[in-house]
Amino acid sequence: MFRLILIVLFTSMGGAPGALAQTPLERGSYLVNGILACGNCHTPKDAQGAPIVERELSGGLSFMTPAFQATASNITPDRETGIGAWSDEAIKRALTHGVRPDNARLPAPLAAVMAANFFKALLPNDLEAVVVYLRSVKPVRNSVPEPVYKAPVHRDPYPDAEAGFTPAQLQDPVRRGAYLVTIGHCMECHSAWERGISDYEKGLGRGGRQFGPALVQGFPASWEGSTAANITSHRAKGIGAWTDAEIKRAIADGVSRDGRKLRPPMDFGSYRRINDSDLSAIVAYLRTVPPQE
Protein backbone atom coordinates (compact mmCIF):
# COMPACT_ATOMS: atom_id res chain seq x y z
CA MET A 1 0.00 0.00 0.00
CA PHE A 2 2.80 2.43 0.87
CA ARG A 3 4.43 1.82 -2.53
CA LEU A 4 1.10 2.47 -4.24
CA ILE A 5 0.70 5.80 -2.41
CA LEU A 6 4.20 6.81 -3.51
CA ILE A 7 3.41 5.98 -7.13
CA VAL A 8 0.18 7.99 -7.03
CA LEU A 9 1.95 11.00 -5.50
CA PHE A 10 4.83 10.71 -7.93
CA THR A 11 2.52 10.55 -10.93
CA SER A 12 0.30 13.39 -9.68
CA MET A 13 3.22 15.79 -9.91
CA GLY A 14 4.06 14.86 -13.50
CA GLY A 15 6.39 11.95 -12.81
CA ALA A 16 9.50 14.10 -12.53
CA PRO A 17 12.06 13.25 -9.85
CA GLY A 18 12.30 16.01 -7.27
CA ALA A 19 8.61 16.89 -7.64
CA LEU A 20 7.34 14.34 -5.10
CA ALA A 21 7.03 16.72 -2.15
CA GLN A 22 5.72 19.67 -4.14
CA THR A 23 2.19 21.00 -3.90
CA PRO A 24 0.61 22.23 -7.14
CA LEU A 25 1.41 25.82 -6.07
CA GLU A 26 5.06 24.94 -5.40
CA ARG A 27 5.32 23.05 -8.68
CA GLY A 28 3.72 25.95 -10.55
CA SER A 29 6.14 28.42 -8.97
CA TYR A 30 9.07 26.18 -9.87
CA LEU A 31 7.94 25.97 -13.50
CA VAL A 32 6.87 29.59 -14.05
CA ASN A 33 9.92 31.07 -12.32
CA GLY A 34 12.32 28.44 -13.62
CA ILE A 35 12.34 26.55 -16.89
CA LEU A 36 9.32 28.34 -18.40
CA ALA A 37 10.93 31.73 -17.62
CA CYS A 38 7.58 33.48 -18.01
CA GLY A 39 8.86 36.60 -16.25
CA ASN A 40 11.57 37.11 -18.86
CA CYS A 41 8.92 38.49 -21.19
CA HIS A 42 5.97 39.22 -18.92
CA THR A 43 7.67 41.07 -16.02
CA PRO A 44 9.01 44.60 -16.68
CA LYS A 45 12.69 45.28 -15.96
CA ASP A 46 14.46 48.18 -14.31
CA ALA A 47 17.31 50.18 -15.85
CA GLN A 48 19.82 47.51 -14.82
CA GLY A 49 17.75 44.69 -16.33
CA ALA A 50 16.50 43.25 -13.04
CA PRO A 51 12.82 42.23 -12.87
CA ILE A 52 10.59 44.69 -11.01
CA VAL A 53 9.26 42.30 -8.38
CA GLU A 54 6.24 44.33 -7.34
CA ARG A 55 5.05 44.27 -10.96
CA GLU A 56 5.59 40.56 -11.49
CA LEU A 57 3.98 39.25 -14.71
CA SER A 58 2.11 42.51 -15.39
CA GLY A 59 3.45 42.93 -18.94
CA GLY A 60 6.97 43.52 -20.11
CA LEU A 61 8.98 43.15 -23.30
CA SER A 62 7.78 44.45 -26.66
CA PHE A 63 8.58 42.80 -29.98
CA MET A 64 8.78 44.62 -33.29
CA THR A 65 8.89 42.23 -36.24
CA PRO A 66 7.84 42.46 -39.88
CA ALA A 67 4.85 40.23 -39.08
CA PHE A 68 3.64 41.82 -35.82
CA GLN A 69 4.21 44.33 -33.07
CA ALA A 70 3.22 43.10 -29.62
CA THR A 71 3.90 43.58 -25.92
CA ALA A 72 3.94 40.66 -23.50
CA SER A 73 0.54 40.51 -21.82
CA ASN A 74 -0.44 41.21 -18.24
CA ILE A 75 -0.95 37.70 -16.86
CA THR A 76 -1.64 38.67 -13.25
CA PRO A 77 -5.10 37.98 -11.74
CA ASP A 78 -6.24 41.58 -12.31
CA ARG A 79 -9.77 41.16 -13.66
CA GLU A 80 -9.77 44.14 -16.01
CA THR A 81 -6.26 44.25 -17.46
CA GLY A 82 -4.98 40.76 -16.67
CA ILE A 83 -6.39 37.22 -16.72
CA GLY A 84 -8.38 37.33 -13.48
CA ALA A 85 -11.70 36.97 -15.32
CA TRP A 86 -10.50 34.04 -17.42
CA SER A 87 -11.51 30.49 -16.55
CA ASP A 88 -8.86 27.88 -15.82
CA GLU A 89 -9.61 26.23 -19.16
CA ALA A 90 -9.22 29.56 -20.96
CA ILE A 91 -5.78 30.09 -19.41
CA LYS A 92 -4.75 26.56 -20.38
CA ARG A 93 -5.96 27.11 -23.94
CA ALA A 94 -4.04 30.38 -24.18
CA LEU A 95 -0.89 28.62 -23.00
CA THR A 96 -1.18 25.59 -25.27
CA HIS A 97 -3.00 27.02 -28.31
CA GLY A 98 -2.14 30.72 -28.28
CA VAL A 99 -5.71 32.03 -28.27
CA ARG A 100 -7.50 34.40 -25.94
CA PRO A 101 -11.04 33.73 -24.66
CA ASP A 102 -14.01 35.67 -26.04
CA ASN A 103 -14.23 37.75 -22.85
CA ALA A 104 -10.60 38.92 -23.06
CA ARG A 105 -9.89 42.65 -23.16
CA LEU A 106 -7.98 42.06 -26.39
CA PRO A 107 -9.83 39.61 -28.67
CA ALA A 108 -6.86 39.01 -30.98
CA PRO A 109 -4.85 35.77 -30.89
CA LEU A 110 -1.58 35.77 -28.99
CA ALA A 111 1.45 36.78 -31.05
CA ALA A 112 3.76 34.10 -32.41
CA VAL A 113 6.42 34.99 -29.84
CA MET A 114 4.17 33.25 -27.28
CA ALA A 115 5.54 29.70 -27.39
CA ALA A 116 2.23 27.84 -27.42
CA ASN A 117 3.66 25.38 -29.93
CA PHE A 118 6.10 24.31 -27.18
CA PHE A 119 3.81 24.72 -24.16
CA LYS A 120 1.32 22.29 -25.67
CA ALA A 121 3.70 19.60 -24.39
CA LEU A 122 2.97 20.51 -20.75
CA LEU A 123 1.70 17.46 -18.91
CA PRO A 124 -1.82 17.95 -17.49
CA ASN A 125 -0.68 18.23 -13.88
CA ASP A 126 2.09 20.67 -14.78
CA LEU A 127 -0.37 22.76 -16.80
CA GLU A 128 -2.74 22.77 -13.83
CA ALA A 129 0.11 23.78 -11.52
CA VAL A 130 0.99 26.73 -13.75
CA VAL A 131 -2.61 27.96 -13.56
CA VAL A 132 -2.61 27.56 -9.76
CA TYR A 133 0.52 29.68 -9.52
CA LEU A 134 -0.77 32.38 -11.89
CA ARG A 135 -3.88 32.64 -9.71
CA SER A 136 -1.66 33.21 -6.68
CA VAL A 137 0.41 36.19 -7.83
CA LYS A 138 -0.48 39.75 -6.88
CA PRO A 139 -2.99 41.34 -9.27
CA VAL A 140 -1.48 44.38 -10.96
CA ARG A 141 -3.54 46.84 -12.96
CA ASN A 142 -1.65 47.49 -16.18
CA SER A 143 -3.04 47.75 -19.70
CA VAL A 144 -0.52 46.79 -22.37
CA PRO A 145 -0.82 48.15 -25.93
CA GLU A 146 -2.95 46.21 -28.37
CA PRO A 147 -0.97 44.00 -30.75
CA VAL A 148 -0.68 44.95 -34.40
CA TYR A 149 -0.62 42.09 -36.88
CA LYS A 150 0.66 42.54 -40.42
CA ALA A 151 0.35 38.84 -41.29
CA PRO A 152 -1.55 35.84 -39.92
CA VAL A 153 -0.12 34.41 -36.71
CA HIS A 154 2.21 31.53 -37.60
CA ARG A 155 3.79 28.96 -35.29
CA ASP A 156 5.98 26.13 -36.54
CA PRO A 157 5.03 22.76 -35.00
CA TYR A 158 7.75 21.48 -32.68
CA PRO A 159 8.17 17.70 -33.15
CA ASP A 160 8.55 16.71 -29.48
CA ALA A 161 5.58 18.86 -28.47
CA GLU A 162 3.47 17.35 -31.23
CA ALA A 163 4.42 13.82 -30.12
CA GLY A 164 3.84 14.68 -26.45
CA PHE A 165 5.20 13.11 -23.30
CA THR A 166 3.90 10.79 -20.59
CA PRO A 167 4.71 10.88 -16.86
CA ALA A 168 6.42 7.50 -17.16
CA GLN A 169 8.82 8.85 -19.80
CA LEU A 170 10.03 11.54 -17.42
CA GLN A 171 11.64 8.90 -15.23
CA ASP A 172 14.29 8.54 -17.96
CA PRO A 173 16.74 11.46 -17.63
CA VAL A 174 17.11 11.94 -21.39
CA ARG A 175 13.36 12.08 -21.96
CA ARG A 176 12.90 14.34 -18.95
CA GLY A 177 15.56 16.58 -20.43
CA ALA A 178 13.72 16.58 -23.75
CA TYR A 179 10.53 17.54 -21.90
CA LEU A 180 12.24 20.39 -20.06
CA VAL A 181 13.95 21.68 -23.21
CA THR A 182 10.56 21.56 -24.96
CA ILE A 183 8.51 23.43 -22.35
CA GLY A 184 11.48 25.77 -21.90
CA HIS A 185 11.14 26.49 -25.64
CA CYS A 186 14.94 26.45 -25.91
CA MET A 187 14.91 25.45 -29.56
CA GLU A 188 12.66 28.37 -30.46
CA CYS A 189 15.79 30.54 -30.37
CA HIS A 190 18.55 27.97 -30.80
CA SER A 191 17.36 26.31 -34.03
CA ALA A 192 17.95 27.46 -37.59
CA TRP A 193 15.56 30.26 -38.48
CA GLU A 194 15.05 32.22 -41.67
CA ARG A 195 12.34 34.65 -42.75
CA GLY A 196 10.07 33.72 -39.90
CA ILE A 197 10.33 29.95 -40.37
CA SER A 198 12.09 27.58 -37.97
CA ASP A 199 13.81 24.46 -39.23
CA TYR A 200 13.50 21.88 -36.46
CA GLU A 201 14.22 18.99 -38.81
CA LYS A 202 17.54 19.99 -40.38
CA GLY A 203 18.62 22.83 -38.06
CA LEU A 204 17.68 21.68 -34.56
CA GLY A 205 19.96 23.42 -32.07
CA ARG A 206 22.19 24.98 -34.73
CA GLY A 207 21.70 28.53 -33.43
CA GLY A 208 22.38 31.68 -35.39
CA ARG A 209 19.17 33.55 -34.66
CA GLN A 210 19.91 37.20 -33.92
CA PHE A 211 18.29 39.43 -31.31
CA GLY A 212 18.79 43.17 -30.92
CA PRO A 213 17.19 46.36 -29.59
CA ALA A 214 15.28 46.96 -32.82
CA LEU A 215 13.56 43.58 -32.40
CA VAL A 216 13.18 43.32 -28.61
CA GLN A 217 12.44 46.35 -26.44
CA GLY A 218 12.46 46.39 -22.66
CA PHE A 219 16.03 45.37 -21.87
CA PRO A 220 18.49 47.99 -20.51
CA ALA A 221 19.73 50.66 -22.91
CA SER A 222 23.20 49.09 -22.67
CA TRP A 223 21.95 45.80 -24.18
CA GLU A 224 23.44 45.44 -27.65
CA GLY A 225 21.76 42.16 -28.52
CA SER A 226 23.07 38.65 -28.99
CA THR A 227 23.10 35.64 -31.31
CA ALA A 228 21.70 32.27 -30.23
CA ALA A 229 24.50 29.75 -29.84
CA ASN A 230 24.89 26.33 -31.41
CA ILE A 231 23.83 23.89 -28.66
CA THR A 232 24.18 20.67 -30.65
CA SER A 233 26.66 17.93 -29.83
CA HIS A 234 29.11 19.21 -32.46
CA ARG A 235 32.51 19.24 -30.70
CA ALA A 236 33.83 22.39 -32.40
CA LYS A 237 30.77 24.44 -33.36
CA GLY A 238 28.49 23.29 -30.56
CA ILE A 239 28.84 22.09 -26.97
CA GLY A 240 29.93 18.52 -27.63
CA ALA A 241 33.36 19.08 -26.09
CA TRP A 242 32.01 20.90 -23.03
CA THR A 243 31.83 19.18 -19.65
CA ASP A 244 28.49 18.72 -17.93
CA ALA A 245 29.51 21.35 -15.38
CA GLU A 246 30.35 23.85 -18.13
CA ILE A 247 26.98 23.37 -19.81
CA LYS A 248 25.17 23.76 -16.48
CA ARG A 249 27.13 26.92 -15.72
CA ALA A 250 26.19 28.40 -19.09
CA ILE A 251 22.49 27.67 -18.51
CA ALA A 252 22.21 28.69 -14.87
CA ASP A 253 24.91 31.36 -14.51
CA GLY A 254 25.21 32.73 -18.03
CA VAL A 255 28.95 32.04 -18.26
CA SER A 256 30.42 30.45 -21.39
CA ARG A 257 33.11 27.79 -21.41
CA ASP A 258 35.78 30.45 -21.95
CA GLY A 259 34.53 32.58 -19.06
CA ARG A 260 32.71 35.03 -21.31
CA LYS A 261 29.50 36.48 -19.87
CA LEU A 262 26.50 35.46 -21.95
CA ARG A 263 23.80 38.01 -22.75
CA PRO A 264 20.00 38.15 -22.82
CA PRO A 265 17.42 37.34 -24.05
CA MET A 266 18.37 34.03 -22.40
CA ASP A 267 16.96 34.30 -18.88
CA PHE A 268 19.74 33.11 -16.60
CA GLY A 269 17.98 34.60 -13.57
CA SER A 270 15.16 32.10 -14.03
CA TYR A 271 17.32 29.17 -15.08
CA ARG A 272 19.46 29.34 -11.95
CA ARG A 273 16.31 28.21 -10.09
CA ILE A 274 16.31 24.88 -11.95
CA ASN A 275 17.36 22.10 -9.60
CA ASP A 276 20.49 20.08 -10.32
CA SER A 277 18.57 16.93 -11.19
CA ASP A 278 16.68 18.77 -13.93
CA LEU A 279 19.84 20.52 -15.13
CA SER A 280 21.50 17.11 -15.42
CA ALA A 281 18.53 15.85 -17.43
CA ILE A 282 18.77 18.84 -19.78
CA VAL A 283 22.46 18.14 -20.33
CA ALA A 284 21.72 14.45 -20.94
CA TYR A 285 19.23 15.39 -23.65
CA LEU A 286 21.48 17.98 -25.28
CA ARG A 287 24.16 15.30 -25.62
CA THR A 288 21.76 13.47 -27.96
CA VAL A 289 21.08 16.42 -30.31
CA PRO A 290 22.78 15.57 -33.63
CA PRO A 291 25.82 17.73 -34.43
CA GLN A 292 25.23 20.73 -36.68
CA GLU A 293 27.77 23.16 -38.08
pLDDT (tens digit per residue) in 69-88 = 999 999 999 999 999 999 99
pLDDT tens for residues 236-279? 999 999 999 999 999 999 999 999 999 999 999 999 999 999 99
| Residue 63 · residue 113 · CB < 8 Å | yes
Q: What is the mean pLDDT of residues 24-33?
A: 98
| Residue 141 · residue 80 · CB < 8 Å | yes
Is residue 161 classed as helix, strand or coil in its secondary structure? Answer: helix
Higher pLDDT residue, 137 or 10? Answer: 137
6-37 in b/e form (b: 16+ CB < 10 A) is eeeebebbbbbbebeebebeebbbbbbbbbbb
Is the pLDDT confidence value at 235 over 60?
Answer: yes
How far apart CA 251 and CA 240 sit, in angstroms, is 15
Q: What is the pLDDT of residue 21?
A: 65
Is the pLDDT confidence value at 1 over 50?
Answer: no
Neighbours of 108 (CB within 10 A): 15
- The pLDDT mean for the chain works out to 92
How far apart CA 164 and CA 122 sit, in angstroms, is 8
- What is the band of 283 on the pLDDT scale with cuts at 50, 70, 90? very high
- What is the band of 14 on the pLDDT scale with cuts at 50, 70, 90? very low
pLDDT tens for residues 149-165? 999 999 999 999 999 99
Is the pLDDT confidence value at 10 over 80?
Answer: no
Q: What is the mean pLDDT of residues 121-138?
A: 98
Q: What is the mean pLDDT of residues 166-173?
A: 97
Q: What is the pLDDT of residue 20?
A: 52
